[in-house]
Homo-oligomer: A and B are copies of this chain.
C-alpha cells in the first residue's frame, strides 16, 4: 500500500555553526518505499522541536552523530501505525520515537521509543510532558538533584516545557520553588499556572541579587537549561551541599571555541556542591516509572503543561531558532500537514 504515498519532509540543507536557522533547512517530497519484513509505516501527527536539536546538527562531539547534510532532520514525533510487517505492531497503534521531520516514517520496530498507551490523554503530550520533557524533568530533578522537603529549588527557563515541569515536581516534593524567566507574561504563567513561589525576570533584574533576596539560605538545587550568565548568578548563591543539574545550554550560541565564563571550581568546593550533566536517554530503562508518575499527576491536576503548535512543514525550518530566541510559550510542536 505504501508505494503510492508521497513523503513530505524537512532536510538539513547545510551545516550550521551554533543555532540552526531557517536557511539551513529545505522542504522536499520523496516517495515512500515499500515495507519489508520487520518494518512499520507510521503517519506522523506531530513533530517535536527541542533545544537538543541544535547539538544534533552541529559537527561537534555529542551523544549522537550529527545529522548528515541532505538527510531528513532528526526529531522525535508521534504518529499512528498505518501498516505493519512487524509482529509487535498493529495498525492504529499510537507510537512515539525518533521518526524525523517527515510525514511518513518507515522504520524497524526498534526505532519506536514507545507505544503511547495513555489513551485518555492527548497524543501530543507524548512529545512533551508525557515524553522527554517530562521524563527529563523527572530524572533531572528527582534523581540528580534529589530535592528534600523544605529545600529551595531554582529553575532557569522556568516557563519552558522542561522547566515548568521541574518547578511543579519540586512543589510536589515539598520544596520552595524559584523560577527564572524572560517576560512579564511568562512570570504570570510561572506564578499562576506552574505555582512557583518566587519568579525572577532575568531581563529586568540583577539575577544574583534577586536570588540572594529570595533564597536567604542559599540555593539547594538548581536545574539549569542556560549554562550562561543566569547560571553564573545562581552559582554565586549556593547552599552547602547544593546539587546542580545541567540539562541544557540555551544561552550559549556557540561552543567552538569554548566560551569563557567565571570559574565554578571554588564555588563548588566551598559549598561541597555537585554539578552534573544530564542526558535523559541514559534513563531509558526507567522511563516507565516516570510515565506512570507523570500521568498520575496530570490526571490529579497537579502537573500543568503548555503547548504551542506551529502549522505544517513550512514552519519547521525556523522553529529551532525560535526556541533559542525565546519566542515560544511552552512545548513547541509542529502539526504535520
Flag if A270 contacts B227 (CB, 8 Å): no
Residues 257 to 278 of chain A near chain B (Cβ within 8 Å): 258-278
Residues 228 to 284 of chain A near chain B (Cβ within 8 Å): 228, 231, 246-249, 252, 255, 258-279, 282
Flag if B272 contacts A268 (CB, 8 Å): no
Q: How far is the CB of A284 from chain B (nearest CB, A)?
A: 13
Give the interface size class of chain A. 35 or more
Chain B residue nearest in CB terms to A235: B258
Q: Which residues of B contact A262 (CB under 8 A)?
A: 258-261
Chain B residue nearest in CB terms to A258: B262
Q: Which residues of B contact A276 (CB under 8 A)?
A: 268, 272-275
Chain B residue nearest in CB terms to A63: B270
Q: CA–CA, A266 to B227, complex, Å? A: 8
Residue A61 is within 8 A (CB to CB) of chain B in the complex? yes
Q: CA–CA, A260 to B259, complex, Å? A: 10
- Convert A5-39 into 0s and 1s, putting 1 for each residue whose CB lies closer than 8 angstroms to a CB of B: 00000000000000000000000000000000000
Q: CA–CA, A210 to B114, complex, Å? A: 43
Residue A119 is within 8 A (CB to CB) of chain B in the complex? no
Q: CA–CA, A280 to B137, complex, Å? A: 32
- Convert A267-305 into 0s and 1s, putting 1 for each residue whose CB lies closer than 8 angstroms to a CB of B: 111111111111100100000000000000000000000
Q: Which residues of B contact A282 (CB under 8 A)?
A: 272
Flag if B269 contacts A249 (CB, 8 Å): yes
Q: Which residues of B contact A267 (CB under 8 A)?
A: 277
Q: How far is the CB of A216 from chain B (nearest CB, A)?
A: 15
Q: Which 10 A-B pairs have the closest CB atoms?
A: A227-B265, A269-B277, A258-B262, A268-B277, A274-B276, A261-B263, A260-B260, A275-B275, A272-B277, A255-B266
Residues of chain A at the chain B interface (Cβ within 8 Å): 61-63, 224, 227-228, 231, 246-249, 252, 255, 258-279, 282
Using A269-B278, A273-B277, A275-B275 as known contacts, list a sample of 18 further A-B pairs with CB atoms less than 8 Å apart, ordered by residue number in A: A61-B270, A62-B270, A246-B268, A252-B263, A252-B266, A255-B266, A258-B263, A260-B260, A261-B262, A267-B277, A268-B275, A270-B279, A272-B276, A272-B277, A273-B276, A274-B274, A274-B276, A275-B276
Pairs across A and B, CB under 8 Å, 23 listed:
A61-B270, A63-B270, A224-B265, A227-B266, A228-B263, A249-B266, A252-B266, A258-B263, A258-B266, A260-B261, A260-B263, A261-B262, A264-B275, A268-B275, A268-B276, A269-B277, A269-B279, A270-B277, A272-B276, A272-B277, A272-B279, A273-B276, A274-B275
